[in-house]
Structure 1
Amino acid sequence: MKLKRISIIGRPNVGKSTLFNVIAGFRKAITSKTPGTTRDRIEAVVKTVSKQFLLVDTGGFDEGNSRMKSLVREQTLKAIDDSDILIFLIDGRDGLLPMDRELADLIRKSGKPIVPVVNKSDLKISNLIKNEFYNIGFDNFLFLSAEHRDGIYELIYRIEELLEEHTEQPISDLSSEVKMSFVGRPNVGKSSLTNRLLGWERVIVSEIPGTTIDNIDVHASFGKKDFIIVDTPGIRKRMRISTDLEKESSLTAIKSIRRSDIALLVIDASEGITDQDLKIANLIHDEGRGFIVLCNKWDLVGNQKTSADEYKKEIKFRLGNLDYAIILNVSAMTGKGTEKIFPEVHALAKRMKTEFSTPDLNSILKKVGIEHPHPMATGKPVKLKYIHQLPANSPIFQIFSNQPAEVEKNYVRYIEKKLRNAYNLKGVPLKFKFRKGDNPFIRH
């Protein structure tokens, strides 16, 4: 059974994102004083004491002429159509505007249960203005202030009542879902790939770099497997971040990597892997996330002399020590190669949870020491005496040595290579910690 979908609908800058953040319990959407900041639909699973539902924040409904406003309007209309319950939000300070009336007519025609809410009611609203709200045909308006969290509990209670009436989904275990995020420079096709995977325009796509401002969580199923897709804002070079909002979007993209199990670095195949791509790749590795490189726009490259295998070799060479990443040549435009994404993500998520046998690890470590001893340091041999896996979301190994500070980076890479040869660890980051001592489990 699917979760009930509850969408917050309203014209721009009435406080939809602020209300979404308060209900969702964390700062998921970027809020701004600039009207129309939220361009895409943003979703979060919300659990109350007894209920669970999918909360959706929509872009502001605006009757404008620009292409972007038209796209946002289409998304809002689709959100209304897809929703089970609608929260209709009005700005109490502005009073009732013509656009509010138009939107009220639109959502009333949908036939969906509606919770009418007047936001920014921290200032006293006169009875005359209150009567104006009731004149648009809704009963039981809730007056609240999302910014100051006044009246939120009443809204949650109203939502729970409607869920009770309309048979909600029981709370289920979502831990089996694999969280995956698309990261990369602006305009490399992250949103287009999301849309291709989902089969419809879930995320607004535009030729304007930086169109996607927020992290957009989308729940998806492939076969019998569940995924959460986080479509992130592009990570721009610091020197190119021109506004506070863009700077915050870059930080949000970095946070999305930390929220994910698997990070998919999207690059422009026609440009190859850039220095900025490599910086993002290192960030993925440092955060210990499963690592896949999606070479998008392969349709612009694949018909040239360069073969797919040759191209992958070039990418691996550029990645250097991060060449363990899975590399897929894909095209969001034609769909070629995109059918491999979900299966690869699922398989990588399973490999990320690999449990390594301590005896097997020590057998490999011993063999490494015999075949290729570590160089002397401070006039003494450097001995690696014991290795075991630490509890973590990705493989981290602790190695005991007589001189842990002297272990060379190249030697660590050699150990990593041997482990990768012994196990199937494509796309899995490996980390090593060194401690002074012998086998910690042998009493002397």
Structure 2
Amino acid sequence: MKPLVAIVGRPNVGKSTFFNRMIGERIAIVEDMPGTTRDRLYGDTDWNGRDFTLIDTGGLELGSGVPVGQVGLHGQPGDLMDHVMAQAHLAIEEADVIVFMVDARSGITTADEDVARELRLAKKPVIVAANKADNKDRRMDAVEFYNLGLGEPIVISSIQGVGTGDLLDRIVEELPPASELEEEEDENLIRVSIVGRPNVGKSSLLNAITGTNRSIVSNVPGTTRDVIDTNIEFQGHKIRLVDTAGIRRRGRVGVGVEKYSVLRSERALERSDVSILMLDATEGLAAQDTHIAGAIHENAKGVIVVVNKWDMAQEQRKAEREGVFAHPDDEIQSAEEYREILAEGLKFIPYAPILFVSAKTGYHVKSILETAIKIAQMRYLRVPTARLNEIVQDATRRHSPTVIRHKPLKIYYATQARVNPPTFIFFVNDTEAVHFSYERYLENRLREAFSFHGTAVRLQFRPRSKDSDERRTKESEGRH
């Protein structure tokens, strides 16, 4: 694994600005407001030939009483600041090098002294970075940070880029020796995004899958504002899980932090192979759920509809019966009823499997990963051209194409252009003669023949040309 470098410090000292500059893109949300970063974010970068991973964290406010290296929470259950603190401490615990960021404009504060005291106990290499030193006077005044007892401060301006090279030099010097065991990106990695409207249990599901408090879990809608990537191994497969902020309809997205969260969630969906669409069993199918499902379908992703909080829904169902004896088959019956409702509301993704789970208790959580692996494998299925055309010819014999403007559609042949998603090109006499209902019919025939369960497929129609005929001849010669 690449060495880890954690960026820590009190709130609003510029940690996320530095993180984004080093990564080269706006991954962390940046607002001139303390406490914007809540979860810890990871991003890969390199300097002087060394690859490493930066970790951006929420601001440390050590009045919480949580010692460095411990994950335990204190105070009132569900207190958001306690969770933010726990995330920062986890980053410190797993880091190889710690960048302690301070604000050169305000000088040493009591909060800085508290953080420095804790970092000395962490027994990790610590580099003090005096940020926001945007002019000569601030750079001269930054010498006072020697008093933190953590060595020479590196004076930087994350916004201007001043001094960041010196800081990176120090980071590389403190990294553990390069290892031959450092892993490159695995081409077989399965990317799974967890999407859904706010407060349906996305972070709880991620925690249930990984068995750790990898993401902040809170009952406050929209708690997760940053995309969180987690790599795991399951049944011999490498999977990258992406927990995202709740996606809301564009018309209801506010400015600032929430806006960037939604954009990042949509980007996470775009870079995934399979999306887990989480619904709340106690609330039923909402308009926002269908909006998200539509985005998944438009991006031609694999999809699993996960109905979370199924245990709570069952309790509500029993309560509504007012004490009537529950038959053992009641849960099966209610699940089938629920499935029919979802099938009607999500009829544009009829290929999506529906799973009933409880992230809180772990009920059926394992089956989500098993299903995701099967769908990801199906997305890489390559169909032999000869077999594909047999299916297409049989389909046209069974049901002739619809005649549009007195011009019948003729399908000369088809070929698979790519995988992930499976994409098929049909060469026809006239692309305008393709009716959407017949396109859907062809897609259904392909699904029946090749079991494209759980994934979207793309059908493209092109006019036959001399080049396409020559390409088809070469493909035929290659098979022989």
> Please, what TM-score do these two structures have when normalized by structure 2?
0.87
Q: CA deviation at 1:162?
A: 1.8
> Which one is further off, 377-386 or 97-106?
377-386
Q: Which residue of 1 aligns with 2:458?
A: 431
Q: CA deviation at 1:165?
A: 4.2
Q: Which residue of 2 aligns with 1:39?
A: 38
After superposition, what is the alpha-carbon deviation per residue over 1:364-418, rounded to whole angstroms, capped at 9, x for unaligned?
A: 1111111100122221221111111113531111111112112111111111111
Indicate how the Cα distance of structure 1 residues 213 and 85 shifts in structure 2: closer, same or farther if over 3 A, else same: same
> Which one is further off, 162-171 or 79-88?
162-171
Query: CA contact under 8 A between 1:385 and 1:438: conserved in structure 2?
Result: no
Count of aligned residue pairs for this structure pair: 443
Query: CA contact under 8 A between 2:142 and 2:155: conserved in structure 1?
Result: no
Residues 242-391 of structure 1: matches in 2 within 5 Å? 242-302=254-314, 304=317, 305=330, 306-391=333-418
Residues 163-178 of structure 1: matches in 2 within 5 Å? 163-165=175-177, 170-178=182-190
Q: CA deviation at 1:204?
A: 1.0
Query: CA contact under 8 A between 2:42 and 2:229: conserved in structure 1?
Result: yes
Indicate how the Cα distance of structure 1 residues 140 and 167 shifts in structure 2: closer, same or farther if over 3 A, else same: farther
RMSD of Structure 2 on Structure 1 (CA): 2.2
Indicate how the Cα distance of structure 1 residues 47 and 236 shifts in structure 2: closer, same or farther if over 3 A, else same: same
CA distance in 1, matches of 2:285, 2:139: 62
Query: CA contact under 8 A between 2:3 and 2:176: conserved in structure 1?
Result: no
SS in 2 for 1:385: strand
The reply to whether residue 115 of structure 1 matches residue 115 of structure 2 is no
The reply to whether residue 54 of structure 1 matches residue 53 of structure 2 is yes
The one of 78, 89, 95 equivalent to 1:77 is 89
CA distance in 1, matches of 2:54, 2:370: 28
Q: Which residue of 1 aligns with 2:20?
A: 21
Q: CA deviation at 1:153?
A: 2.3
Q: CA deviation at 1:420?
A: 0.5
> Which one is further off, 200-209 or 301-310?
301-310
CA distance in 2, matches of 1:41, 1:425: 36
Q: Which residue of 1 aligns with 2:442?
A: 415
Q: CA deviation at 1:343?
A: 2.0
Query: CA contact under 8 A between 2:50 and 2:172: conserved in structure 1?
Result: yes
> Which one is further off, 6-15 or 218-227?
218-227
After superposition, what is the alpha-carbon deviation per residue over 1:53-107, rounded to whole angstroms, capped at 9, x for unaligned?
A: 3321111112567822222112222222222211111111121111011001101
CA distance in 2, matches of 1:292, 1:353: 17
Q: CA deviation at 1:272?
A: 2.2
CA distance in 1, matches of 2:139, 2:8: 24
> Which one is further off, 85-94 or 50-59?
50-59
Indicate how the Cα distance of structure 1 residues 69 and 176 shifts in structure 2: closer, same or farther if over 3 A, else same: same
After superposition, what is the alpha-carbon deviation per residue over 1:198-225, rounded to whole angstroms, capped at 9, x for unaligned?
A: 1121111111111111111122222432
After superposition, what is the alpha-carbon deviation per residue over 1:18-39, rounded to whole angstroms, capped at 9, x for unaligned?
A: 1111222221111111111001
Q: Give the AA of the match of 1:57.
A: D
CA distance in 2, matches of 1:102, 1:126: 22
Query: CA contact under 8 A between 2:143 and 2:153: conserved in structure 1?
Result: no
Residues 3-18 of structure 1: matches in 2 within 5 Å? 3-18=2-17
Query: CA contact under 8 A between 2:407 and 2:433: conserved in structure 1?
Result: no
Q: Give the AA of the match of 1:408.
A: H
Residues 97-116 of structure 1: matches in 2 within 5 Å? 97-116=109-128
Q: CA deviation at 1:127?
A: 7.2
Query: CA contact under 8 A between 1:43 and 1:218: conserved in structure 2?
Result: no
The reply to whether residue 233 of structure 1 matches residue 263 of structure 2 is no
After superposition, what is the alpha-carbon deviation per residue over 1:291-342, rounded to whole angstroms, capped at 9, x for unaligned?
A: 1111111112346444334433332232112111122111111110101122
CA distance in 2, matches of 1:339, 1:290: 18
Indicate how the Cα distance of structure 1 residues 239 and 126 shifts in structure 2: closer, same or farther if over 3 A, else same: closer
SS in 1 for 2:55: strand
The one of 178, 203, 210 equivalent to 2:222 is 210
Indicate how the Cα distance of structure 1 residues 262 and 47 shifts in structure 2: closer, same or farther if over 3 A, else same: farther
The reply to whether residue 162 of structure 1 matches residue 181 of structure 2 is no
SS in 1 for 2:136: coil
Q: CA deviation at 1:3?
A: 3.1
Q: CA deviation at 1:234?
A: 0.6
Q: CA deviation at 1:278?
A: 0.9
Q: Give the AA of the match of 1:376.
A: V
After superposition, what is the alpha-carbon deviation per residue over 1:226-260, rounded to whole angstroms, capped at 9, x for unaligned?
A: 22221111112334333322122111111111121
CA distance in 2, matches of 1:407, 1:325: 25
> Please, what TM-score do these two structures have when normalized by structure 1?
0.94
SS in 1 for 2:265: helix
After superposition, what is the alpha-carbon deviation per residue over 1:140-182, rounded to whole angstroms, capped at 9, x for unaligned?
A: 3211111122222222222222224485853523333222111
CA distance in 2, matches of 1:401, 1:278: 33
CA distance in 1, matches of 2:2, 2:237: 16
SS in 1 for 2:184: coil
Q: Which runs of 5+ in 1 are unaligned?
A: none
Structure 1 runs of 4+ with >6 Å offset: none
Indicate how the Cα distance of structure 1 residues 48 and 427 shifts in structure 2: closer, same or farther if over 3 A, else same: farther
CA distance in 1, matches of 2:371, 2:421: 17
Query: CA contact under 8 A between 1:51 and 1:171: conserved in structure 2?
Result: no
CA distance in 2, matches of 1:422, 1:319: 23
CA distance in 2, matches of 1:64, 1:102: 9
Q: Which residue of 1 aligns with 2:191?
A: 179
